[in-house]
Amino acid sequence: MKKLMRNDMKKIVTIPDYERMMSRKYYALLKAKMPEIVEYFFLELNDAQLLDQTEISKDVVTMNSKVLLKELKRRRKLEVMITYPEEANDQERKVSVFSPIGTALLGRTVGDHVSWKIQGGQAEFEILDITYQPEAVGDFDL
C-alpha cells in the first residue's frame, strides 16, 4: 500500500493516536506543568492531517516512536520515546506526549527542526531518524 507523505507543516497523526489523545485532553490540561503548551498542542492537533495507521509514512513521529535527535548547538545526539503520561520515565528517556518535547515532536518528520522552551532558553534539535515506529513494523495496538 502506498504511504502518504506530508504536504505542508501540519502535524501528521494516525486516527487512533488522535482519538486517544483527544480522550485525554482535559486530564492533560488539568495535570500540565505548562498548560499553555498543552493547549497549543491541542489546537495543532485539531488542524492535523489524520491518516489511517497503514497509510502513514515511516518517517513520521507517531505515538510510541523512538526518535533520534541532534542538538543543533552542541551537536550531541539524544534518543527519546514518545509515550502517554502514565508511561513517561526520565531514566528510560520516555517522554510524555504532553510535555514540551513530546508536543514538539509528535507528527513531525525526519529532517524537521523542532524547538521547545527549557529553563534558561530554547532547546533546538533536528530529527535525525526514527529508530522505531510502531506502524512501520505493524504494531497497531500500542
pLDDT digits (tens, 9 = 90+) for 57-109: 999 999 999 999 999 988 899 999 999 988 999 999 999 999 889 999 999 99
The closest of 46, 22, 47 to 97, measured between CA atoms, is 22
The more confident residue out of 133 and 73 is 133
Q: Is the pLDDT of residue 5 over 70?
A: no
Return the closest-CA partner of residue 142 out of 86, 88, 61, 65.
65
Contact assessment for residue 6 and residue 57, using Cβ atoms and an 8 Å cutoff? yes
| Cα–Cα distance measured from residue 26 to residue 56, given in angstroms and rounded to the nearest whole number | 27
Stretch 30-54: mean pLDDT: 89
Residue partners of 116: CB distance under 8 A and separation at least 6? 37, 100, 101, 103, 104, 122, 123
Q: Cβ(67)–Cβ(127) under 8 Å?
A: yes
Higher pLDDT, 14 or 123: 14
Distance, first Cα to last Cα, the chain: 21
pLDDT at 29: 85
